[in-house]
Structure 1
């Protein structure tokens, strides 16, 4: 139980904000269109009795839809919390609720905020981090398109039509592929320039880790915020979905943990791809990989462990402000 005297749980959707307000022994609800100004009008009456510092407004991380409200409330000096939807879902499961409505969701978000929330309050990312993150997402989309086009071209190349006609049709794909490849290179260059210019020390420290690419550095800076908002490497690994979940039952059934894909999928993917390079050039990662494989672990599982190791190395150099030796 925290010290907030009034908690507002908000279920955010594309078109509306549904809220439940808990204070004293009362429970009240309201819904407005997805307009932060309209939302504030609904909560202002409560400020006649409570200070802003007594009020916690809590919502789930919804990708992008929560940002408009969270940023507006932050700029107007409200206490705002943005939490992982998985935490809310597990809380609802523990309460054994079977009802699923926006109003019910907002109530359980408020209950979670009043009962369990003890994390850091929301703070918007600096503009340069937002810019890097947007470029990383565009880069991911372009690479998906590139993979699809290459696969489609390969499939078309086996269609039994005259060679001249086939060549003409394949040229359409070749032009698109060439253009996307050029865009990818330009974006990678822009991401590198942004990180080097705005985070010179962090870039240099992360570059001391063999196997860390400029894209990984972009992810660490923009998505992890340089680890500034993580109190431990365990929490950072959890954010990326790289923490194994142990399975035990009684005294006899014990299984090795598996990775639960509940964190940031893009961060996890980039770290996993970096692990492929790290087992070649990073002696600590190579030793870990070889040791796990020699013990009979699957290569994919060993690579996940290497990705986790890379994350720990990145966390260590930034927190200690010393390069990897």
Structure 2
């Protein structure tokens, strides 16, 4: 949309120069007047698509959180109590890892997720290699 606006010589106000599409920004987009009616139709079409995808995302997020609160309430609430873990990340952790009690220790969980460092040991030589390339990429990104 930004490219379409630039094509028609419309510059976004400074307050909207970010990646977040606030309600105020959407209202501003809806109020733009174009000389060319097809330009307005194109913008309206893109905004309908954006609003559809945004609503679908909200609906799926709500369903995921509701499912986790219903079937995994205790674990979901414990995960949510950790600073930085919101509803969607808590759902992702529960969906991807299942019952966290299956890991004997935090060390085993860290190894499964890929947060523990790689180690090369041969005889008396011991070398830490840094974070291991073997990982559960999605869950590692949640934890990081």
TM-score range, shorter chain: 0.5 to 0.7
Q: CA deviation at 1:175?
A: 1.0
1:170 aligns with 2:18: no
Q: CA deviation at 1:185?
A: 0.9
Unaligned 5+ residue runs, structure 2?
Answer: 10-33, 122-126
Secondary structure in 2 aligned to 1:242?
Answer: coil
Secondary structure in 1 aligned to 2:61?
Answer: helix
1:158 aligns with 2:6: yes
Unaligned 5+ residue runs, structure 1?
Answer: 1-152, 249-253, 272-306, 308-325
User: What TM-score, normalized to structure 2?
Assistant: 0.63
Once residues 180 and 256 of structure 1 are traced to their aligned partners in structure 2, the CA distance between those partners, rounded to angstroms, is 43
Q: Is the 8 A contact 2:69 2:76 kept in 1?
A: yes
Once residues 160 and 229 of structure 1 are traced to their aligned partners in structure 2, the CA distance between those partners, rounded to angstroms, is 58
Aligned residue pairs, count:
119
Q: CA deviation at 1:237?
A: 2.3
Q: Is the 8 A contact 1:191 1:215 kept in 2?
A: yes
Q: Is the 8 A contact 2:115 2:132 kept in 1?
A: yes
Q: CA deviation at 1:259?
A: 4.9
- For 1:263, the equivalent position in structure 2 comes to 135
1:187 aligns with 2:60: yes
Once residues 167 and 222 of structure 1 are traced to their aligned partners in structure 2, the CA distance between those partners, rounded to angstroms, is 42
User: What TM-score, normalized to structure 1?
Assistant: 0.31
Once residues 163 and 229 of structure 1 are traced to their aligned partners in structure 2, the CA distance between those partners, rounded to angstroms, is 63
- Cα displacement string for residues 10-32 of structure 1 (whole angstroms, at most 9, x for unaligned residues): xxxxxxxxxxxxxxxxxxxxxxx
Q: CA RMSD in A?
A: 3.3
- For 2:27, the equivalent position in structure 1 comes to none
Once residues 80 and 140 of structure 2 are traced to their aligned partners in structure 1, the CA distance between those partners, rounded to angstroms, is 19
- Distance change (3 Å), C-alpha of 1:160 and 1:247: farther
Once residues 243 and 159 of structure 1 are traced to their aligned partners in structure 2, the CA distance between those partners, rounded to angstroms, is 49
1:206 aligns with 2:79: yes
Once residues 237 and 177 of structure 1 are traced to their aligned partners in structure 2, the CA distance between those partners, rounded to angstroms, is 38
Q: Is the 8 A contact 2:76 2:91 kept in 1?
A: no
Once residues 128 and 112 of structure 2 are traced to their aligned partners in structure 1, the CA distance between those partners, rounded to angstroms, is 23
